Structure 1
Amino acid sequence: MANKVHVKTGDKVTILSGKDKDKQGKVLSVFPKEGKVIVEGVNIVKRHTKPTRENPQGGIIEREGAVESSKVMLVCPRCNKPTRAAKKFLQDGNKVRQCKKCSEVIDK
């Protein structure tokens, strides 16, 4: 059974702990089974690659590594502050995320 992750692809998040603490970035992908997310510009790892047809030079490639989802916090697009997401039920029965600080609906 897949675990729930509190952020979605495309959300702006801030890092709570680690070497990249207080950095902000956009969520590129989410892995609910592992409970991890990949954030743009955070946890850069180096990968040594052999030459291939696509990359005839080979060499060292830098890319983002996965971060525990518990170490990221959602940033509200309106007040631009890290916040927890509250669940709000709309009249039509849909469920959306809401900022706990300014009550702005995060999901459009």
Structure 2
Amino acid sequence: ESRGQKGKILSIDTAKYRAIVEGVNMVSKSEKPNAKNTNGGIVKKEGSIHLSNLMIVIDNKTARIGRVLDEKSNRMERVFKTKKEASK
């Protein structure tokens, strides 16, 4: 249901490997009346998505991100799977 949708990443939970994306995976939550929302009722908000289900879009091209060991610095670097270049 959320396949192919684009949005800005609002937050990432690294402990659970999940992200919240703007306008994607909308869920309905019932909210009690409070000072902020005096009426209460059903509120739509973004739900979290597992990081493996996200793709980065650069110049209208989608790319997954992988990690490769750099021989020079002996450190792991992020690599776009479509370009095979290290991103900084």
TM-score with structure 1 length normalisation? Answer: 0.62
Partner of 1:33: 15
Asked which structure has the greater CA Rg, the reply is: 2
Query: Which of the pair is proportionally richer in strand?
Result: 2
Q: Which residue number corresponds to residue 84 of structure 1?
A: 64
| Root-mean-square deviation (Å) | 2.5
Residue 102 to residue 70, structure 1, CA distance change in 2 (3 Å): closer
Question: Unaligned regions of 5+ residues in structure 2, if any?
Answer: 71-75
Deviation at 1:59, TM superposition (A): 0.9
**CA deviation string 1:24-81 (max 9, x = no partner):** 11110000110100001000001111111111111111100000110011111xx211
Structure 1 stretches of 5 or more lacking a match? Answer: 1-18, 90-94
Of the two structures, which has the highest relative contact order with CA contacts closer than 8 Å and spacing of 6 or more? 1
Q: TM-score, normalised by structure 2?
A: 0.75
What is the aligned-residue identity percentage?
A: 34
User: Aligned pair count?
Assistant: 86
